[in-house]
Structure 1
Amino acid sequence: MLTTLLFLAVCFVAFTNGANANFKGVASLYGSGTTSLRGALLWGTATTFAGSIAAAFLAEGMLKKFSGRGIVSDVLVQSPEFVCAVAIGAALTSFLATRFGFPVSTTHALVGALVGAGLAGSGSQVHLEALGKNFLYPLFFSPIVAALLGSVTYLFLRAVRLAPDHRTPLLDALHYLSAGAASFARGLNDTPKMVALLLVAPGFDLRWGFLAVAATIALGGLLDADRVAETLGKKVTSMNPGQGFAASLVTAGLVTTASFHSLPVSTTHVSVGSLLGMGATTRQAKWRKIGEILLAWVSTVPCGAILAAVAYALISWL
């Protein structure tokens, strides 16, 4: 019973992750008018799925980080009730954000859910200090680094005439490649965070876990990404094709680097950060919407913690 509930809860996380995050790598393709919303989403979903499958062979380090070890006791980590609560708390957080069109971090939601379910399950026996180096530092600094690089990269590409204001065959090809690379890296970085929740399922073959999570991420993106797509593509900043390519290149480079170093960065933070840096440089950033997104980011961890704590209490009672 609990194993089935755990599997369904992990699939729920994956579905909401796809709905909220599959567009993040390709937002610049849509925002710059290089392709339609549906075209960008199909490309982003296909390359994310490829990254999710590759994660089964390349992401062992991320699996270990999101097992919960070092944050809560090993006894609690092995509890299906705890892991179900983490999955449900993170999924509900992403689900609510998607309903309002806010691009939030599944990584933040999972970290919050780990803490909330840990506090509910073991009281004060949660090692909050372990969150700093392994989780919070990469999550905090990644949007700042992305914003700075977004600005510098756009200025450099414009200086060497690789970021024109209009579409060209070369620019389109480079833009598609960079957006695809960003989405591939997102799949590589996000998928093991969710598969790690299945480590407590007895006798479960993780290869099937990666496939199930990859497929459900793709399904969530195809069925429920429109609200977040509009926010990322049109409401953070205005952009032309050259500007969109600069932002996409930064996202791809940072998320790929983080994935191969097992750093749990948020594609959301990197994508929005790169768009913001480029938009600030061109004075086209839409600061009111950016402020709303930042508020959603601040609330993600406590929301995940509260929902996971409630889920743990309910599952334990049942």
Structure 2
Amino acid sequence: MLLLVVLVSLVFDYTNGFHDAANAIATAISTRALTPRVALLMAAVMNMLGALLGVQVAKTVSEVITPPSGLHGLTVVAAGVIGAIAWNLITWYFGLPSSSSHALIGGVVGAGLASASSVAWAKVVDKVAIPMVISPIVGFVAAYGVMLAILWIFRKKNPSKVGRRFRIAQTMSAASLALGHGLQDAQKTMGIIVLALVTTGHSDGKGVPWWVIVLCAGALSAGTYAGGWRIMRTLGRKVIEVDPPKGFAAEATASVILYLTAYIWHAPISTTHTITASIMGVGATKRLSAVRWGIAGNIVVAWVLTMPAAAIVAAVVYYIVHFFGA
């Protein structure tokens, strides 16, 4: 059962990769800074490297609930991950860039509530709910400011030359964002596997085994290389018309937020929320109507529904499995 939970967690990590691959490279592809295959390969490699850079977020995720010990506890953990996978697949199918991070937290909390496990509500509020609200706001405002600065600094330059230079710069900002995605998102699966190990007495929860880090890094990287073309179209073309300076500003802003929250706040924030809000922020510098608010509204609805929807699916899975004697 433990091996099954580890496998299901790695499947989630894989779906996270192809679901969130668009985060780092959609704008770079839409501005033709990178070709699709080169962009995916770059994102996969940077995801792998980012996953090896820390475990602080993993520790936060592993402490969200305290499930029962043994087989019952593993059932709780597995149900939570399956709930997250289900929501990832639903939003991927409709091309909505929802948060894999919050799907995972929502699934685990839903399974925890269904099983009467102890839920660390203070940690959920402080490390998940508050950052979930703040990070998109910061992304929008900061990206708006960065884009205004770029427009002012290069106001007298030839637009075509500026575009060519930012196309090169965007390669670096996309790589930086992919690194931040690996740093944040691989750790969330690490935290779930550590939770399963603690439940079965194979870990004290104080660290993350090296093999867990390697497996999660590999699964996320493989999923990223598989691509997420539906979501790329939404982020790269449907929210705003993206050019290289806008793409650079959005990616650079989102990258900084990902690094700061991982290393300072140890919070599992959403890469999806952060880059999408940053894209909206740079688009708003042209005029508010430049942002396609209808598409943006659909994305926000998906954000709001993510945690409760994943929680409900996880609770149903737990009840079904528990009913049949797990």
Asked if Structure 1 and Structure 2 have the same fold, meaning a TM-score greater than 0.5 normalized by the shorter chain, the answer is: yes
1:89 aligns with 2:95: no
Structure 1, unpaired ranges of 5+: none
- Shift in Å at residue 62 of structure 1? 1.4
Return the TM-score normalized by structure 2: 0.88
- Shift in Å at residue 78 of structure 1? 8.7
Q: Is the 8 A contact 2:83 2:103 kept in 1?
A: yes
Match of 1:280 in 2: 284
Deviations 1:60-82 (A, max 9, x none): x212211134x446759992111
**Pairing of 1:172-187 with structure 2 (within 5 A):** 172-187=167-182
Q: Is the 8 A contact 2:33 2:168 kept in 1?
A: no
- Shift in Å at residue 33 of structure 1? 2.6
Match of 1:33 in 2: 32
Match of 1:68 in 2: 63
Match of 2:148 in 1: 155
Amino acid at match of 1:190: D
Q: Is the 8 A contact 1:21 1:268 kept in 2?
A: yes
Match of 2:304 in 1: 298
Amino acid at match of 2:88: S
Aligned residues: 311
- Shift in Å at residue 172 of structure 1? 3.0
Helix, strand or coil for the counterpart of 1:22? helix
Match of 2:251 in 1: 248
1:109 aligns with 2:103: yes
Return the TM-score normalized by structure 1: 0.90
Match of 1:234 in 2: 237
The verdict on how the C-alpha distance between 1:253 and 1:80 changes in structure 2, with shifts beyond 3 A counting, is same
Amino acid at match of 1:174: A
- Shift in Å at residue 279 of structure 1? 0.9
Deviations 1:13-58 (A, max 9, x none): 101100111220222212223223333222222211211123xxx2
Instruction: Give the Cα–Cα distance (whole angstroms) in 1 for the partners of residues 148 and 112 of structure 2.
Output: 46
Q: Is the 8 A contact 1:76 1:121 kept in 2?
A: no
Helix, strand or coil for the counterpart of 2:226? helix
Match of 1:269 in 2: 273
The verdict on how the C-alpha distance between 1:189 and 1:295 changes in structure 2, with shifts beyond 3 A counting, is same
Aligned partner of 1:98 among 92, 97, 107 = 92
The verdict on how the C-alpha distance between 1:215 and 1:313 changes in structure 2, with shifts beyond 3 A counting, is same
Helix, strand or coil for the counterpart of 1:66? helix
The verdict on how the C-alpha distance between 1:302 and 1:15 changes in structure 2, with shifts beyond 3 A counting, is same
Instruction: Give the Cα–Cα distance (whole angstroms) in 1 for the partners of residues 159 and 111 of structure 2.
Output: 49
Q: Is the 8 A contact 2:31 2:167 kept in 1?
A: no
Instruction: Give the Cα–Cα distance (whole angstroms) in 1 for the partners of residues 124 and 5 of structure 2.
Output: 24
Deviates more, 1:207-216 or 1:190-199: 207-216
Helix, strand or coil for the counterpart of 2:285? helix
Amino acid at match of 1:172: R
Instruction: Give the Cα–Cα distance (whole angstroms) in 2 for the partners of residues 302 and 76 of structure 1.
Output: 26
- Shift in Å at residue 106 of structure 1? 1.4
Instruction: Give the Cα–Cα distance (whole angstroms) in 2 for the partners of residues 213 and 133 of structure 1.
Output: 25
Q: Is the 8 A contact 1:22 1:48 kept in 2?
A: no
Instruction: Give the Cα–Cα distance (whole angstroms) in 1 for the partners of residues 136 and 220 of structure 2.
Output: 23
Helix, strand or coil for the counterpart of 1:23? helix
CA RMSD of aligned residues (A): 2.3
Q: Is the 8 A contact 1:198 1:206 kept in 2?
A: no
Instruction: Give the Cα–Cα distance (whole angstroms) in 1 for the partners of residues 163 and 237 of structure 2.
Output: 21
Aligned partner of 1:314 among 317, 320, 323 = 320
Match of 2:137 in 1: 144
Instruction: Give the Cα–Cα distance (whole angstroms) in 2 for the partners of residues 76 and 304 of structure 1.
Output: 24
Q: Is the 8 A contact 2:48 2:221 kept in 1?
A: yes
Q: Is the 8 A contact 1:182 1:256 kept in 2?
A: no
